[in-house]
Chains A and B, each alone.
Chain A
Amino acid sequence: MGESQVWKSIIRSGVPRTRRQRMHAILGSVFLHLHPARLPKHAVKVGYTWCMGGLSFFLFVNLTITGILLMFYYRPTVEYAFTDIIDLAEQVPLGIMRELHRWAAHAMVLIVWLHMVRVFMTGSYKPPREFNWGVGVLLMTLTLLLSFTGYLLPWDQLAIWAVTVGSNMARATPFLGHEGPGAALLAIGDINLIHVGSDVRFALLGGRFVGEATLLRFYVLHCIGIPFIAMIFMAVHFWRIRKDGGISGPL
């Protein structure tokens, strides 16, 4: 099989037999090449890394699959959103897909924080890994934003008021929020350029308060926008682990 044209067109190298060929097989695959071609012995010491990065990625994949399945039933409108969530538990086969998504989301926030704790406690943010720490902080922020945007989708009282309170923080954005420092400076004569109908919160909510437009915006951000950005930075994150000297281990 290793000699057939189909195999060779996909894998290029034959069945790898030497170290060099094994290395080529890893480097020749778009999925495997993000990983190191050879692992140091300490990389499998779970007591040191807690496997928190791997578990974060596992939960992300888990959430992507369950999330796509939920999209087949959930409609992001004021009329249907809440009842569709009820239906997902009571009418849809297996009934636990939404719970899987919800609990995996909670777990991912927890695990990402523990990943940060581990990296911090082992000093793995130090040079040459300082850039990847920055990418990691960004990924953590994206994780929290995914959690925040997903929070609104059940469209119950908790969701609406939590997002009302949360998005009110955007009012205080410097210059771009209508209650933020410097916003009053952006004016032509008596006309304020930054007001409740033109600031950054308005762009986030698609209106002056949390409503139908907000539900749709948060849905799009939750399902497409933020996962898309997160995937790009995850690829950078994994690749940089390899480029920055491999997974960190005991000195």
Chain B
Amino acid sequence: MSEEKQAPRAAVGTTTSQDPIQRRGFFRWLALGWLTFAAATGGFFTVIIRFLYPNVLFEPPQTFKIGFPDEFSPNSVDTRFKKKFNAWVVRDDESIFALSTTCTHLGCTPNWLLTENKFKCPCHGSGFRITGINFEGPAPRPLERFKIGMSDDGQILVDKTKSYKWEKGEWENKDSFLKV
């Protein structure tokens, strides 16, 4: 380092003739830069969140056929579809309906107790009648029913994407049961 003082190069002469960057132009580029950065960051996080939602699920289908109406005997609970599809098929005197196996208390799966004629949840003891109406334990509302209908080949079709709640009066809906 030399001892003598040197003026910084930028301070020599006037800058207006040489320096093309003006205040307004600078802010224009700055705003553009920040906008680009914000857009790229926003896009980045959008893509990451989208990444967490899979396109293909390795789960049983939401809509499935359960067989012909005469395969279900009156006043019985069919538990064949419980494990794979999380649904009970119940036939009472005049209709067939599909009950959700998700307990309305905290979401465990109750068991159908044939001798006691009720659904009983092992987690906290909620009990439901064959109709799905709750009568004991902490469950606050009845089990939900799934959409049920006939397919073209005469089999019963259950659609789990639509469910019907008793407390909203939705069990009156004609898609929530099948007249037999």
Binding site for B on A (CB under 8 A): 161, 164-165, 168, 195, 198, 202-203, 206-209, 211-213
Indicate the member of B57, B58, B107, B161 with the most A CB atoms within 10 Å: B107
**Which of B54, B57, B58, B108 lies in contact with A164, CB distance below 8 A?**
B108
The number of residues on chain B lying at the interface, defined by a beta carbon within 8 Å of a beta carbon of chain A, is: 13
Contacting residues, chain B, for A212 (C-beta < 8 A): 58
A165–B53 touching, CB < 8 Å:
no
Contacting residues, chain A, for B58 (C-beta < 8 A): 207, 211-213
| Number of CB contacts from chain A to chain B under 8 A | 33
27 A-B residue pairs with Cβ-Cβ distance under 8 Å, sorted by A, are A161-B108, A161-B123, A164-B106, A164-B107, A164-B108, A165-B106, A165-B107, A165-B108, A165-B123, A168-B106, A195-B161, A198-B53, A202-B53, A203-B49, A203-B52, A203-B53, A206-B52, A206-B54, A207-B54, A207-B58, A207-B59, A208-B57, A209-B59, A209-B86, A211-B58, A212-B58, A213-B57
Binding site for A on B (CB under 8 A): 49, 52-54, 57-59, 86, 106-108, 123, 161
Contacting residues, chain A, for B49 (C-beta < 8 A): 203
- Complex Cα distance, B31 from A5, in Å, reads 49
Contacting residues, chain B, for A202 (C-beta < 8 A): 53
Contacting residues, chain B, for A211 (C-beta < 8 A): 58-59
- Complex Cα distance, B102 from A209, in Å, reads 10
Nearest CB of B to A197, in Å: 8
- Complex Cα distance, B161 from A213, in Å, reads 20
List the 6 closest pairs (A to B, CB-CB), nearest first. A168-B107, A165-B106, A203-B52, A164-B107, A161-B108, A207-B59
Contacting residues, chain B, for A209 (C-beta < 8 A): 59, 86
Contacting residues, chain B, for A198 (C-beta < 8 A): 53
Contacting residues, chain A, for B53 (C-beta < 8 A): 198, 202-203
Nearest CB of A to B4, in Å: 35
Beta-carbon nearest neighbor of B51 in chain A? A203
Contacting residues, chain A, for B54 (C-beta < 8 A): 206-207, 213
Nearest CB of B to A186, in Å: 15
**Which of B52, B59, B123 lies in contact with A208, CB distance below 8 A?**
B59
- Complex Cα distance, B107 from A198, in Å, reads 18
Contacting residues, chain A, for B123 (C-beta < 8 A): 161, 165
Contacting residues, chain B, for A165 (C-beta < 8 A): 106-108, 123
